[in-house]
Amino acid sequence: MKDSDEYYGSAEIIQSYKDAQKSGDADSIKATGMALVEHYKEIRGLKKQQGKLPAYYHEANVVDALLDSMQLREVTKETPDAVLETLVECERVHKMTDIDALRENRLAPAAYATTKQTELDTHPAEPNSVYSKIFRSGDTDAPHAAKIASRSFYSKHAYGLFLPWENTPSCIVYTGHVPAQGSIAPGGENCALPGKLSQFRDQLGKAIERPAYVMFYSISNISQDLAGIRLGPVLLDKLAGHLQQHLRSDALTLSTLSPIRSFPEWVATTVYTEKDTRFTHDEVEKCQVLTGMTPVQWLKSVMPIEPFHRGKPVTSDEAAALQRDGKAVTYQVVGSPPEFESDVEQELFDTFRRDLCVDYLASARKNRRGMDKVVDDTADFHMSNGAYAGNIALQSGDAEWRDAGGVMVNYVYDVPLAQPQYQKAYEKDGVISIDSSLLTQWDERRCQMNRALPETAVQSVEPIQHGRLAVPRYASMVR
């Protein structure tokens, strides 16, 4: 028989929290919720120290209870300074100078918050909204109609995943909302997906027409108490459902604009060491005529890459030794983005970067969860959540140049409701999903170079499903 302290394990703490939620008493929810968080932290500590848990401690159940209670809320310009200061401190992807920069560049005014349910924030597609009454009456030219319509959508938003009693989110995602730019095109340089990071990160927010694209360009964990729980997939899951319901658009595409920071290491250790085996005969010939160098020689000169350890440059041999010892080494592009004398050279450079990035996603593999999957951590995160690689987006910023030679990827969450086939294919069989246009170009180049297909399958995604996104739920939220 267990003593009373031992007996009060996970099941009892979870039940107390659920009872408090049913009662609706805010003080009880906070007290029992905080006790559950402390219990989770205790579980993490025991696993780290002892490698196992008592039989009456159930980590998965504790995590599920916490996740089930978390709320999606919008962070706005009117959010208190103390909360915004925490968000600035915790931003890891695209850092901000201060809370003024956060307010100006990444947040919507409260009046535009998509989570508001007031009549003024209801949208034309909803039959009883003030908008629909005006539009049905044909009074679209009236000043008050224009004023209301102008308030309906905003270009910048930030959404957080909150514990019910907290004012600071445990995880946050920043989004850019973009009106239609024309019909969706296949992946590649002519893709209609918005692909300029500066459009979301640096430009001031503004009122816009109904968005056709919602771009997730930065996601960060804030809570240290919930370390080890995959909050990102839960936040994207809740946000996808909310946006579909709120925007009421069949032409809505949800996509990321993500760095691919492992790309320079692959280029430096694979492409730059294989002479010109990653290029077709025509590409080699064109590059020699245009630049007087082979593709690898030319790329080394315009996109030099060096390994770093703890912020200091090291040699290739030192980097290899450090990695054998399990120490972290990062590869960065050094110098500034090249300025070419001719548009033809710029076009060739852009083509090489895009083609190599698709080659990297399609062919490079790393063992993850007992199976060969993509090497890049960000790609793995999004593909394991049901996204596919929809476009390679080239950037001009210094930070993006240093991280990956200006290369970023649009991971598109475009799976029809209740059909998370890409996520299942990736998690079960390691199948990489890539836009059909990108993959066709890659496969044509592969055949010209007589290279074999990678052992792990790659599947083509036809861009005909744009506009119906559902981020699927996942079996395991604990890593």
**71-256, CATH topology level:** Aminopeptidase (3.40.630)
Contacts of 337 (CB under 8 A, 6+ apart): 396, 398, 401, 406
Task: Assess whether pLDDT exceeds 80 at residue 213.
Answer: yes
Q: How far is Cα 388 from Cα 402, in angstroms, rounded to an integer?
A: 25
The confidence score (pLDDT) of residue 2 equals 41
Do 14 and 61 meet the contact criterion of CB atoms below 8 Å apart?
Answer: yes
Q: What is the pLDDT of residues 221-277, one digit of tens each?
A: 899 999 989 898 888 888 887 887 777 655 577 888 888 999 999 999 999 998 888
The confidence score (pLDDT) of residue 11 equals 92
Following CA atoms 343, 349, 355, 360 in sequence, which dihedral angle do they give, to the nearest 10 degrees?
-160
Contacts of 228 (CB under 8 A, 6+ apart): 44, 478, 479
Report residue 218 CA to chain centroid gap.
Answer: 6
The confidence score (pLDDT) of residue 7 equals 45
Please provide residue 76's backbone torsions phi and psi, each rounded to the nearest 5 degrees. Answer: -120, 175
Task: Assess whether pLDDT exceeds 70 at residue 311.
Answer: yes
Q: What is the mean pLDDT of residues 381-400?
A: 85
Residue 422, classed as helix, strand or coil, is helix
Q: What is the mean pLDDT of the chain?
A: 80
Q: What is the pLDDT of residues 54-73, one digit of tens each?
A: 878 899 999 999 999 999 99
Q: How far is Cα 339 from Cα 327, in angstroms, rounded to an integer?
A: 35
Q: What is the pLDDT of residues 431-471, one digit of tens each?
A: 888 888 888 888 888 888 877 766 556 776 765 343 333 22
Confidence of residue 203 (pLDDT cuts 50, 70, 90): confident
Q: How far is Cα 244 from Cα 371, in angstroms, rounded to an integer?
A: 33
Domain ranges across the chain: 4-69, 71-256, 263-461
Q: How far is Cα 254 from Cα 382, in angstroms, rounded to an integer?
A: 12
Q: Strand 312-313's sheet: what is its strand order?
A: 312-313, 305-309, 330-333
Q: What is the pLDDT of residues 352-370, one digit of tens each?
A: 999 999 999 988 888 888 8
